[in-house]
Structure 1
């Protein structure tokens, strides 16, 4: 328990490894304070709503394509304006306020079925509604004026972000693609360092650190580029960015295959000729430099001279020739080093395609770009399809929407009965804290409460010595900019400065300089309500969700290998396009499993007995995929019927074992014993005439790679068994009752 408290304390104080969003903070401060100053100076009746509309709409601007930003901000403006009108009308009739809150807040919380942007819009609409409930209008006309004021403030925020603070339409896409090459450069540098030490734990740490990160960069770039290209007639720059994105993905795959083959070499050795790893390390460093050149070329606007990299697999082939001439390497080592040289050469070819495309990026399209897969177009499905898909209590989105609706309604009822000062601060706290999952809700509650306490104390200190309204407005502009700028770093810091801003602004407007304790008390009440709603209303622990996510990742591993096996069965090289799609699906499934695991660790009631086996399962799910990526890089097909027969038997056994492992993880049972894989591939078996003898004789490198794949499966199998032994009996029962 003590360790869990320390872990939660670290999570509350943890800073994300990103820079503050300074420009976003300044824009939000301008969007908030210009309407406030103008409304106050002109004595406009809706000055507060002008500021609310400006701040909330600016808050929605998360970057991305120009079209996507306009759509998100405009949709939020309309939703918030409608919420202000309806909330003002409902607040005039206390008997209507309770059912209206339940329906409106639940409906907007359910907007998460349409994605993260819709979820943020829904939260803002619900928040605006409860503020309007707490500040009831004097009549229908006043409610309408509130809605129009929200639209006015929102329009100012949109003009500020999209016109006065202009952006280039393709700049977000270029930055996203450049970030992919930056991540590839980091991975190549990590490989260069690791290959010279070659400790197993270093390889493992590199995979865990880089693979998921690069896949996330690729998916962000894919989404951003698709949104940017949507509805645009110009094709030159969009197509070249697509080629660059595919080149970054291909370089990532090549580096995965290289890393897996390099690890199979074992520890470095010294001899009269030297270790060939030195040539590989130098080539990888040069590859990283080329990737950084690509970052510069993609981000900049003007034309540049094309860099001429000089790295490839030739230096390794020369070193390999010396070793071979002296008889210092075995047949298998020679095959491995030759394959590494091939992979380096192919990696250089992919880098050349990217460099050629990046140097032509700013200019007009004069020739067809290199071929690349088109981004998947969004299907024109019915707007109601996501709603129908989530109208079940098994849906996390529906459960969360009901939870938020009921808890917020309870907060509104408490405010209507006890009538606390600024009672809508209670409901805003509930809406802000409650997340679809228990762990993030608990963490956000801690950050919100602690940040409010610290911010309240700062507000008391400021109010005690600074009473000049002009100096106060200048200070509040700075704190408003700070609170938005610091959101990417830590939500608790955002809460500190948001509390200072809104408490002092409320005190400045009302003349009541005692609102800081009110804010703290109301936040404590709202936090308690949010946690109670999370724990007692349709809560499902991540402990029951995580096995399904992990099973999905294991099945994606199985599907990736099945694509290879299908090609082997017909004596054909692997289908590159199909395997790339399978590899992407696997990467996303693994990211989902790792995210679920992190949520599991953040849950306050999580038991720590099974952490190590779960971490091993996640890690070696990626290791299994890395070996499959290496196998997919082979350009030759199985040459003889005997080899194809051995591969077919191995593939059948592997397919059955991976499916059994995924099913065992999902249902909390013991996995079945593994088949004798070494006999199937003829690896270190006493009978050279067994079923895998042909594979060892004709394709020793392939045989070695299959042995590595078998080794990853054995680690997964052992970890699944240890996980079952480590879990308490109650958890066994819950896992077995999932279906």
Structure 2
């Protein structure tokens, strides 16, 4: 059980961070990817030291940025993304450096197209968007290295050499199994399910003495697991072969998640305690089953025998206990048995790659969405502003400020401010780390070893958490600069420039075409529509079907989005916090609807289309109530579905009334 307890502590912190829009995916620590990137970068730094050519720092940074541009997954996608970065970065490095040699005014004018055009990469998907952002980073760094055309061409060639070295090493020489990130992500889902099952058992005792802590724990688990499932599903889609096999494992995890939701509803929302005998025994065996699934799913060839035997035993015992909790545990045991059978077979015939993923074309004639266009214009203007301010302040290594603008400024203000905070905190911590390394390890060979280790850590943690990534990134940049371009107070300059650039980015997202994202009313309306739509689909069905699973998934995604917005607004210190508490009450009631609907589906009751139609009508009235002129009718709405579903929908109606009229 010690492994389960360790996992619980890890993911408890992760789900708290995720609730406030701070990404936390501890399962995505890529040690091999980090070691490969460290070799690519450190070898070029060593070459620069050996030859006494500081200009080769551009090869090192080109290699590091090329590693960042690597999206993982299929070789075709990796080569396209890294190739777009290498070619685009080479062109902008030459143009920016040559323009800066003429003068700062022309350099600032050149930055407008050199930042604007790469920022349109968001039109072509996340991988090209990341590559485009790194091309823009290359432009704002190159403008601080003015050279005549011949020198600019040399700088661009050195940069391209570093990119090609990293690409060759990553794609052709040191190949890492492309399915490893998907396996880690799926294993993370099962770890979180294990954590939820463990706390479900212990929380049942806590629920008798206090409801608030239970509700918070239950909500955190639901949101975190839904996020982890969708993250794993996205990684599975990027696998060239075997995507359906991994998707089937994710579907099994989603079915287990549904069982945990139903079990949590049985305990918390109905206020029911477990029977000391059969139900408690069944529930106590569930974390061990899930822990075994977690261990096996991370392997390339999972062993099915032990999980199959244990799941079948639990399933037999569940059939002998005719209670709602036993049905929920039985559904989870059946999902685990199906998972073990999937491992035994070792394949799934049909692949799930959509046509857009299979072909993988850039689609250069694709129209640029207006949000992407607005963001590109805003970013270009903010970068030029930061460049001019840095020149006026005569900042050392001023390009660090413009780089911060590029990476911090996001399309939405709601996502820019967390990135600002993470960049500032990470820069301070990374600057302190670099200063300590420079103080303790003054020898160049020791610093080179530190570069190797820190570069590995930066790439290994790039998908885990942005703050941790920035800590290692800051230390890496400072150490390479100290080795190849020595100057006074480099750590301090990095901290100051990063803070300045981050603040400029945050100001730009508020002042230039601000996009705040959907309003709380719109997000709540979407969550209500999705959850009551799920309840109606359950009442109209005679059991769980693939279509019903999709409806449940949609409801979970909508609820998670609304809960994250509520948490973020609270952290931002927005006014009318009491209104946010009322928003929380609506979301709590919606969790009750989802739990009741899932329990109803597991009970295999008869379909009732009339009750389903009533629920749909209730959903429509509730959604319309969030409009500018609509209000809820004074007359109570008719009950629909089972008594449990009707009771939970009534709670939603009451919570919505209070939200719309908190006075």
Instruction: Flag whether TM exceeds 0.5 (same fold).
Output: yes
Partner of 2:313: 311
Residue 250 (1) aligns with residue 255 (2)? yes
Q: Does 1:38 align with 2:47?
A: yes
What is the correspondence of 1:438-449 to structure 2 with a 5 Å cutoff? 438-449=413-424
| Structure 1 residues 672 and 154: CA distance shift in structure 2, 3 A | farther
Asked if 1:613 corresponds to 2:577, the answer is no
Q: Deviations over 1:594-629 (max 9, x none)?
A: 333344334365552322112222333232222222
Alignment of 1:68-79 (within 5 A): 68-79=77-88
SS for the counterpart of 2:88 is helix
The structure-2 alpha-carbon separation of the partners of 1:299 and 1:533, relative to structure 1 and needing over 3 Å to count, comes to: closer
Distance 1:120 1:351 in 2: 37
Structure 2 distance, partners of 1:350, 1:404, is 47
Deviation at 1:49, TM superposition (A): 1.7
Quick check: 1:625 aligned with 2:594? yes
**Residue number in structure 2 paired with 1:403:** 378
Asked if 1:223 corresponds to 2:225, the answer is no
How far residue 424 of structure 1 moved from its aligned partner, in angstroms, is: 1.5
Q: 1:442 to 1:575 in 2, by over 3 A?
A: closer
Structure 1 unaligned blocks of 5 or more: 1-7, 269-274, 321-336, 568-572, 639-643, 682-702, 728-739
Change (3 A) 1:722 1:430: same
Say whether the 8 Å CA contact 1:24–1:484 is kept in structure 2. yes
Q: Deviations over 1:31-71 (max 9, x none)?
A: 22211221343356851221111111222346545554444
**Are residues 1:350 and 2:327 paired?**
no
Give the deviation of 1:406 after TM superposition: 1.0
Residue 15 of structure 1: CA displacement?
A: 10
**Are 2:304 and 1:292 aligned?**
no
Q: State the Cα distance separating 1:152 from its structure 2 match.
A: 2.0
Residue by residue over 1:549-605, the C-alpha shift from the partner in whole angstroms, topping out at 9 and shown as x without a partner, is 2222222123323434555xxxxx357122122122222222332333344334365
Deviation at 1:128, TM superposition (A): 0.3
Measured in 2, the distance between the counterparts of 1:672 and 1:67 equals 56
- Where does residue 658 of structure 2 map in the other structure? 722
Decide whether the 8 Å contact of 1:653 with 1:675 is kept in 2: no
The gaps in structure 2 that reach 5 residues or longer are: 1-15
Residue deviations 1:178-203, cap 9 Å, x none?
33333333333333334566545465
Partner SS, residue 435 of structure 1: coil
Distance in 2 (alpha carbons) for counterparts of 1:175 and 1:256: 24
User: Paired residue for 1:652, among 613, 616, 627?
Assistant: 613
Cα offsets for 1:453-488 (capped at 9, x unmatched)? 555566566656765333333344444444555656
Residues 280 and 123 (structure 1 numbering): CA distance in 2 closer, same or farther, change over 3 Å?
same
The TM-score, its normalising length taken from structure 2, stands at: 0.83
Moved more, 599-608 or 573-582: 599-608
Q: Distance in 2 between matches of 1:338 and 1:150?
A: 66
Q: Distance in 2 between matches of 1:485 and 1:241?
A: 23
Change (3 A) 1:449 1:176: closer
What's the offset of the Cα at 1:661?
Answer: 1.9
1:212 is aligned to 2:217:
no
Give the greater-gyration-radius structure (CA): 1
2: CA distance between counterparts of 1:399 and 1:177? 36
Query: What TM-score results when the alignment is normalised by the length of structure 1?
Result: 0.75
Q: Tell me by how many angstroms 1:292 deviates.
A: 2.6
Q: Does 1:170 align with 2:169?
A: no
Q: Which deviates more, 129-138 or 416-425? A: 416-425
Q: Distance in 2 between matches of 1:306 and 1:297?
A: 11
Residue 712 of structure 1: aligned partner: 648
Q: Please, which of 422, 425, 431 is the counterpart of residue 397 of structure 2?
A: 422
Q: Distance in 2 between the 1:651 and 1:358 partners?
A: 38
Matched length: 639
How far the C-alpha of 1:632 sits from its partner, in A, is 3.0
Q: Assess, with a 3 A threshold, how the Cα gap between structure 1 residues 448 and 243 changes in structure 2: closer, same or farther.
A: closer
Shift in CA distance, 613/118, structure 1 to aligned 2, threshold 3 Å: farther
Whole-angstrom CA distance in 2 between matches of 1:346 and 1:468: 61
1:18 to 15, 21, 26: 26
| CA–CA separation in structure 2 for the residues paired with 1:721 and 1:441 | 33
Q: Secondary structure of 2:26's match?
A: coil
Out of 92, 102, 105, the residue aligned to residue 83 of structure 1 is 92
Whether the 8 Å contact between 2:97 and 2:152 is mirrored in structure 1 is yes
**Residue aligned with 1:134, SS:** coil
Shift of 1:130: 0.9
2:344 aligns with: 359
Q: Which of 371, 374, 388 lines up with 2:367 in the alignment?
A: 388
Structure 1: distance between partners of 2:497 and 2:314: 64
Distance 2:147 2:200 in 1: 64
Q: Determine the C-alpha separation between the residues in 2 that align with 1:167 and 1:559.
A: 43
Give me the whole-angstrom Cα distance separating, in 2, the residues matched to 1:636 and 1:287: 25
2:261–2:598: 8 Å Cα contact kept in structure 1?
yes
Greater mean alpha carbon deviation, residues 603-612 or residues 574-583: 603-612
Q: How does 1:494-573 map to 2 (within 5 A)?
A: 494-541=469-516, 545-564=519-538, 566-567=540-541, 573=542
Secondary structure of the residue aligned to 2:626 is helix
- Cα 1:285–1:145 change in 2 (3 A) is farther
Matched with 2:555 is: 586
1:601 corresponds in structure 2 to: 570
Q: Secondary structure at the match of 2:604?
A: coil
Residues 215, 532 of structure 1: CA spacing in aligned structure 2 closer, same or farther, 3 A cutoff? closer
Q: Distance in 2 between matches of 1:150 and 1:79?
A: 11
Q: Deviations over 1:514-550 (max 9, x none)?
A: 44444444334323422321221122445x6333222
- Choose 493-502 or 287-296, whichever is displaced more: 493-502
CA–CA separation in structure 2 for the residues paired with 1:456 and 1:179: 31
Q: Is 2:201 aligned against 1:158?
A: no
8 Å CA contact 1:556–1:586 kept in 2: the answer is: yes
Shift of 1:426: 2.2
Mean CA deviation greater in 609-618 or 446-455: 446-455
CA contact (8 A) 1:197 1:267 kept: no
Residue matched to 2:202: 193
What corresponds to 2:8 in structure 1?
A: none
CA RMSD in angstroms comes to 3.9
CA contact (8 A) 2:262 2:596 kept: yes
> What SS does the corresponding residue of 1:713 show, helix, strand or coil?
helix
> Distance between the aligned counterparts of 2:95 and 2:452, measured in 1?
30
Q: CA deviation at 1:670?
A: 4.5
1:124 is aligned to 134
Does the CA contact (< 8 Å) of 1:439 and 1:601 recur in 2? Answer: no
**Alpha-carbon distance, 1:306 to partner:** 0.7
| Offset, 1:634 | 4.5
1: distance between equivalents of 2:231 and 2:269?
32
> Bigger relative contact order, structure 1 or 2, given CA contacts below 8 A and separation 6+?
2
Kept in 2, the 8 Å contact 1:60–1:120? The answer is yes
| Alpha carbons of structure 1 residues 166 and 508: separation in structure 2 relative to 1, 3 Å | closer
Pick closer, same or farther for the CA change 1:180–1:71 going to 2, 3 Å: farther
Change in Cα spacing, 1:424 to 1:215, as seen in structure 2 (3 Å) is same
CA contact (8 A) 1:246 1:373 kept: no
Residue 131 of structure 1 deviates from its aligned partner by 0.9
